[in-house]
Amino acid sequence: MRYTLGGYLISETHKSIWRSRMSSFLSCGTTALALFLLGVAILINLNLSHLFTDVQSQMEIQAYLTMEASEEDAEAAIQVAQALNGVAEVRYVSREEAFRELQEMFQEKATVLEGIENPLPASIRLTTFRPEDVPDVVARLREIPCVDDVIYQEEASRNLAVLGRVSQVLSLGGTVIVGLVAITVIGNSTRMTIEARRHEIGIMKLVGATDGFVVGPFVLTGIVLGMFGGLLGAGLSVGLYNYLTGSLESVLPFIPILSLTRGTAINIAGILVITGVAVGTLGSALSLRRHLNV
Amino acid sequence: MRGVSKAYPGGMLALNRVSLDIRKGEFVFIVGQSGAGKSTLIKLLYREEVPSEGQVFVGGRDVARMRRREVPLLRRKIGVVFQDFKLLPDRTVAENVAFALQVTGYSGRDANKAVSQVLSMVGLRNRQNSYPGELSGGEQQRVAIARALVRNPDILIADEPTGNLDPDTSLEIFRLIERANRYGTTVVIATHARHVVDAMRKRVIELKRGSVVRDVRRGAYDD
């Protein structure tokens, strides 16, 4: 005979999952699907930020100073630029440096430039943390008196910002919708178990079981199903990602795809399992509240 | 009970200003025709129902005003036995009895001992590994009584405990309950078992259309 409380909880949870294995399987599967999508969303976002960093490094804002700008003017402009919101890096390129760059570009034909007086102005080159910060930074730079002109890839930065936002909204929206479906399916499975065990629950309450004791196995069942859903979703998303990136890298080597480190994969799995547990707890708790009046 | 009335939705008045005292250690039969209010009175004692009016004191506490989380603690002091036994068909006799201990977190060797003792008392020690479906009606009711008594309750309440049993088995069940009463448990039984009430000569409270019409110390089923 088994009388211990822990033993009771485990055995009741096991029984409840086994007795209604079809609905348990369905709950676990739906949760896994939701968390697979969340995993995909996380991976897409990680890749986008990787891509942004990659593109942003090539997407500099160049603020050209007037030819008359003194070193003090340049120094003041740099300080203003550094204090701007969203600015990641600021680099000053003097007239001489700019001319040297030009000479390097011409390489062996650099002789063409011999004897010519340096026509290039000094400039401040900046990068931002996020592409959506670019227009604001550009506008501020234009307000600096010694700044003559500001050049940047306007359309590229705008497109990147829109792409980032759309992908975030789509992936998170999809996750939320499937997550709600998972909560409903787990809730429904809990309701069916409650119906099947109504007689037993009645007797439990009659002999003095607290609400906590009655709902314990139901909540634990939800947690276990959510946790397995999370593990399954993590395995699927990380496994599929590794498989796809492996094949893509050989076909399209120029696309900057993020390769997952062990640590990142564990973090993603952790997030998905914790979310799965939350989905399971929420689904069973909502159903218990509605159908068991506890 | 002080001026207790109970009206169900639809306006049906099951109890009408009932006042009565049951002292610790008493053995009381509640009799009356079907619909007289016996079951309602029983349900008020373990707070399956709450009165529409009046107060119900159990062990000095007004159960109608009890908070929800206090109800399990009340029920742990009360053993309840029903006509339909209310046993779990997928658990053995011993597990059914142990269930009452388990839900209150009581476990281990002491629990095993308590289950064995109470099963010996009701004469079912040798059937402890049987399932309810393998037992006769009388045996099933003895399991229910064992479950009600395993926690040594202050009060034993029974609603038609022998409604499904033949007269000889009924008397046997009542003798078992009487034995618990001798150990100090207060007993309140709603019943139609005329021959048992007549044979045992205990306090009899008769209800008629929701009111107490008779309350005698060593009474019979009828006047």
Mean pLDDT of B201-219: 95
Query: Looking at the domain assignment, is residue B12 inside a domain?
Result: yes
> How many other C-beta atoms can be found within 10 angstroms of the C-beta atom of residue B197?
20
Contact yes or no for B86 and A203 at CB 8 A: yes
Query: Looking at the domain assignment, is residue B74 inside a domain?
Result: yes
Q: Does A199 touch chain B (CB under 8 A)?
A: yes
Query: Looking at the domain assignment, is residue B173 inside a domain?
Result: yes
What residues make up the domain containing B72? 2-216
Query: Looking at the domain assignment, is residue B97 inside a domain?
Result: yes
Q: Above 80 in pLDDT, residue A131?
A: no
Predicted pLDDT of residue A2: 45
ipTM: 0.83
Question: Which tokens in the block code for residue A231?
Answer: 């593990």
Predicted pLDDT of residue B7: 95
Query: Looking at the domain assignment, is residue B138 inside a domain?
Result: yes
Q: Give the distance from residue A283's alpha carbon to the nearest chain B alpha carbon, in angstroms.
A: 23
Which of A5, A206, A213 has the CB atom closest to B75's CB atom?
Answer: A206
Predicted pLDDT of residue A159: 76
Least confident of A42-51, A228-237, B97-106, B197-206: A42-51
Contact yes or no for B86 and A209 at CB 8 A: no
pLDDT tens digits, one per residue of B96-111: 999 899 887 777 788 8
Task: Find the helix or strand (DSSP H, E) in which B27 lies.
Answer: strand B27-31
Determine the Cα–Cα distance for residues A59 and A154; give it in Å rounded to an integer. Answer: 10
Contact yes or no for A209 and B103 at CB 8 A: yes
Total of domains in chain B: 1
Question: Which tokens in the block code for residue B127?
Answer: 């059937």
Predicted pLDDT of residue B167: 84
Determine the Cα–Cα distance for residues B25 and A15; give it in Å rounded to an integer. Answer: 41
Mean pLDDT of B144-150: 94
Query: Looking at the domain assignment, is residue B143 inside a domain?
Result: yes
B145 to chain A: which residues are within 8 Å by CB? Answer: none
| Contact between residue A205 and residue A3 where contact means Cβ atoms under 8 Å apart | no
Domains and CATH numbers, chain A: 5-54+159-291 (no CATH), 60-152 (3.30.70.3040)
Instruction: Considering only the C-alpha atoms of chain B, give the largest distance between any 2 of them, rounded to a whole number of Å.
Output: 51
pLDDT tens digits, one per residue of A151-205: 887 677 677 778 777 877 887 787 788 778 888 888 887 888 788 778 888 888 8
Residues in chain B: 223
Contact yes or no for B107 and A205 at CB 8 A: no
B83 to chain A: which residues are within 8 Å by CB? Answer: none
In the structure, how many helices (H) and strands (E) does chain A have? 9, 4
Q: Does A92 touch chain B (CB under 8 A)?
A: no
Determine the Cα–Cα distance for residues B205 and A243; give it in Å rounded to an integer. Answer: 80
Contact yes or no for B72 and A1 at CB 8 A: no
| Contact between residue A283 and residue A187 where contact means Cβ atoms under 8 Å apart | yes
Query: Looking at the domain assignment, is residue B223 inside a domain?
Result: no
B106 to chain A: which residues are within 8 Å by CB? Answer: 3
Predicted pLDDT of residue B29: 96
Query: Looking at the domain assignment, is residue B93 inside a domain?
Result: yes
Q: B64: domain CATH number? A: 3.40.50.300
